Amino acid sequence: MTDENTKTVRIWRNAHLATFAPGLPGMGIVENGAIAAKDGRIIYAGAEAALPAGLSAGAEIFDCEGRWITPGLIDCHTHIVHAGNRAREFEMRLSGATYEEIARAGGGIVSSVAAVRGASEDQLIAQSLPRLDALIAEGLTTVEVKSGYGLDVDSELKSLRAARRLESERAVSVRTTFLGAHALPPEFKENRAGYLDLVIDKMLPAVAAEGLADAVDGFCEGIAFSPEEIERVFVAAEKHGLPVKLHVDQLSNLGGAALAARHHALSADHLEYTDEAGAIAMAAAGTVAVILPGAFYFIRETKKPPIDLFRRHGVAMALATDVNPGTSPLTSLLLTMNMGATLFSMTVEECLAGVTREAARALGLSNEVGTLEVGKWADLAIWDIDRPAELVYRMGFNPLHKRVYRGK
Ligand code: DI6
Ligand code: FE
C-alpha cells in the first residue's frame, strides 16, 4: 500500500470502542475513545484524552459523532465461491421430498458440483461477488473462502483461483481453504479410495504448488468422509506445510473434534454432536470451535452444539455464516450473531468476539486482525448504535455507518 493516503496519520475520534483486546475485560470497551492509523495499521487505540500529543498535527481527522467502532467483521467459514443455487431442492424439501428423492432428482452437493464444473473462473467470480458484497455491506473486512464444489483437479484449482481473485475485486482480505474432501464426485461413486488418492496425490500438490490455499479442510461425516480418510488428507496437508480445519460432528459424533485436535487444527466447525471428550481435546490443542447456526437452522437440526462444554473447558468460540447453496444460504453475519444468541444462548460478548477476535484466531490471523490494538490492520466497522448489543439483537437490520479497510 504506497499511495499518499496511507502516509498521513488518520484519526477516528469522538467514538466508543469495543476493542476485544485480550488484555481488557469483556468486550474491551473504551468510552470516548479514538483510533489512529498510519500505513494501514493501528498506531493508537484508546481514550481520546490520552491520544499522544502531536499525533493530530497534519492528521486527517474523522469525527465519529459518538458512534461505536468494532474491529472489521470476519467470516471464518464460507463457501461463497459456488455456481447456481438450490432453491428448487428447497421447494422439494418443503413439499416433503426426502434427501434420497432430491438426490435422485439430481439435487444435493452433486448439482452444485455440475454447476461449478460448467462455470468459467469469471462466471464464478461474477456469481460470488453479490454474496461477498452482502457481507461487506455489514462491515466485513476479512473472509475465508473454501473450494469443495469442483471435486476434480481443474475445477478445484479454478475455484481457488476465483477465491484468490476476490481480493483484487474488492477491498477485503481473503483466506482460502482447499476442501477437496467435501464429497464424493459422481464419477468416483464406486471408488472412494481412488478419489482420496486423487485428492492427496494430484489436487493437493497442484494447489500447494500454486500457493492457492492457506489451509486444508474436510467433511468428516457419515455421508462424506470417515475419520480414517480425513486422517490421510491431514497427513498430506501437513507434508505440504498447510494448517488444517475440519467440518465435524454436524449430523453424528464420529469423534471428528478429537481428530481435528490431534492434528492441532486451527478450527473444528459445526460441532452439534461433539461430546465432552472432544471439547477437552479441542481446549488442549487450542482448536477454535466455529459455530454455524445458519446450517443448524436451515436443515432444522435439533441437536445444539455443546456451548456450555466449550465454555467450561475454555474452548474459544467463533461464529460464521457457512454460506453455501445447500445447507446455509445465509449472507449475513449480523443475523448469524442473532441466531447464535437466540438459538444457542451465546452471550452478546461471545457473539461479537465470535465474528472478530475468535474468527481471526480460527484463521491463524490473531496477530493481524480481529481486535482494535496497536500493530493490527486498521480494519474498522463504525456503527449507528447506542450499545453493542444492538448488533446481535436485531434481525434483518444493518446499522453500519462506515467500513474502514486497511486504514482507508
Ligand atoms: N456441511 C454442510 O452442511 C455443507 N457442506 C458441509 O460440509 C453442505 C454443502 C451442500 O449441501 O452444498
Ligand atoms: Fe461448511
78-137 pLDDT tens trace:
999 999 999 999 999 999 987 777 877 778 898 999 999 999 999 999 999 999 999 999
Tell me the average pLDDT of the chain. Answer: 96
Q: Residue 42 — pLDDT band, cuts 50, 70, 90?
A: very high
Determine the atom of ligand 1 nearest the C-alpha atom of 247.
7
Q: Residue 170 — pLDDT band, cuts 50, 70, 90?
A: very high
Q: What is the pLDDT of residue 7?
A: 66
- Cβ atoms of 89 and 327 within 8 Å: the answer is no
Q: In a 3-state reduction of DSSP, which class is residue 177?
A: strand
CA of 59 to the centre of ligand 1 (A): 48
CA of 326 to the centre of ligand 2 (A): 10
CA of 393 to the centre of ligand 2 (A): 25
Q: Could you tell me which residues come within 8 angstroms of residue 266 by beta carbon, excluding any fewer than 6 positions away?
A: 215, 243, 244, 245, 287, 288, 361, 362, 363, 364
Amino acid sitting at position 148? G
Instruction: Judge if the beta carbon of residue 256 lies within 6 A of ligand 1.
Output: no
Q: Which of 177, 324, 330 to mutate to test the pocket of ligand 1 (most atoms within 8 A of CB)?
A: 324
Whole-prediction pTM: 0.97
- Cβ atoms of 27 and 385 within 8 Å: the answer is no
**Can you point out the beta strands (E) in 313-363?**
317-319
Judge whether residue 4 has pLDDT over 70.
Answer: no
Q: Residue 1 — pLDDT band, cuts 50, 70, 90?
A: very low
pLDDT above 70 covers a percentage of the chain that reads 98
> Which residue has a Cα nearest atom 2 of ligand 1?
327
